[in-house]
Amino acid sequence: MKITPDVLEEKRGGDHHGTMVVRHIRHIAGQIRVPGDKSVSHRSVILGGMASGKTSITGFLPSDDCLRTLAGFSRLGVQVWQPDPSSVQMDSPGFDSLREPDDILDFGNSGTAARLMCGVLAGTSFFSVMTGDDSLRKRPMGRVVIPLSTMGAMIDGPRSGNLLPLSIRGKPLKGITFFNAHKSAQVKSSILMAGLNATGPTTVEEPLQTRDHTERIIPLFGGTVFREGLKTTVYPGKLTGTPIEVPGDFSSAAFFIVLALITPSGSLTIEKVGLNPTRTALLKILASMGANSIRVDPSLSPLSSAEPSGTIHVSFSELKGIDVPPEWIPNAIDEIPALAACAACAEGTTVIRGAAELRVKESDRIHGIARALSSFGISCEEFPDGLAIHGKGPSPALKGGMIDSFSDHRIAMAMATLGTRLPEGEILTIRGTDFVSTSFPGFSEVFNQVASC
């Protein structure tokens, strides 16, 4: 594998046409750490901004997405500084003393920031406007706007508030009981954030358990959360700043787990990675595919972290295709691109259904994955809610050339991982890779650290 220092080349003019060049690798080895968890970084900043007093965050992910959230709170009157890229210090006057922003809040490519901040801004005492880039302005916001409106929020935007930009006239909110039919952790978190400053309790019920970072972190700030089965209730109350430690992002680690599984020579150790059970369904899926070379060593989480973490050891395994149980999909939704790369190197067919949410991510990931795999010469069927990937086994006869990531960071990284199984001498060029930095700044450097031709 060779990725040159300028592999993530940035093209000026607002068009994200960076490229990534990938070659066959023979060997991988080493110990790595992946950047901080994006979901936990967002939520730590948001709760730190809502809380009174000082919050210190270590292990923060300094990606564009998370920095947009941090900049948003700076506009709301929170003092923010970074002693180093992965550390954040915040000093907030508290939710009731946040101020009206002097400009539009631009959350770039971050659906997490936009949807969760809807819940925060809905209960303020002022007016605000939020927007995002071309991709984010196409993503559905009605899924949070509708329940927030039931709580009393005044939110408006294109298509009856279903698209950004959104104008939010903050006002007092009332608690509700809401059924999270979309099985979306972003929707759940937005409602819970709003509920922290509503009148009376707010309950979110789910058909399946989604990632629970918000529920875990709120109590660290002194908030009250009650969980019973698939129901989560938050109670209004004042939050107080606190130290927070963010573990490594499991979704970023997934690409290296897959890299080790599909590379016949070598092994990897990934240290201090988050092991939240609502995020690690990929490990169950891979075990069902025959990945018997993965070992997970949990570690004792510090008091400043509500998230379990540990070390993952992984090496090559011969894999077989499976029908992925649909109930596992919500807790592996961000790892489906990495899983698709793995499925291409398995014997037989892997069927992924119940993943319609992928249609409204940073791109239509179902279509994007299908197109990319077809470019490699992998037969792939596309369903409204998933894919059937016909794997070629551990030595796939892949085709090189040019593929499009659709400016989706996870598709770009997944196809880079699969591209290492090209025949020697073949080259893969991936277009639209600038957005990799939204979740994994330094991806190519870590890749080069462990992979060799």
In the block, residue with structure tokens 């691109």:
337
R_g over Cα of the chain: 21
Could you tell me the end-to-end alpha-carbon distance of the chain, in angstroms, rounded to an integer?
5
- Distance (Å) of CA 146 to CA 141, 184, 190, 198: 9, 14, 11, 16
Q: Are 280 and 307 in contact (CB under 8 A)?
A: no
Nearest to 122 by CA among 193, 50, 18, 207: 193
117 burial type by CB count under 10 A (0-12 exposed, 13-18 middle, 19+ buried): buried
Nearest to 430 by CA among 448, 406, 450: 406
d(CA 299, CA 312): 11
The amino acid sitting at 388 is A
Strand, helix or coil at 36?
strand
CB atoms under 10 Å from CB of 169, counted, come to: 14
Q: Which of 64, 106, 249, 334 is catalytic?
A: 334
Reply yes or no on whether 334 is catalytic.
Answer: yes
The torsion angle over the Cα atoms of residues 77, 110, 59 and 190, rounded to 10 degrees, is 70
Catalytic residues: 334
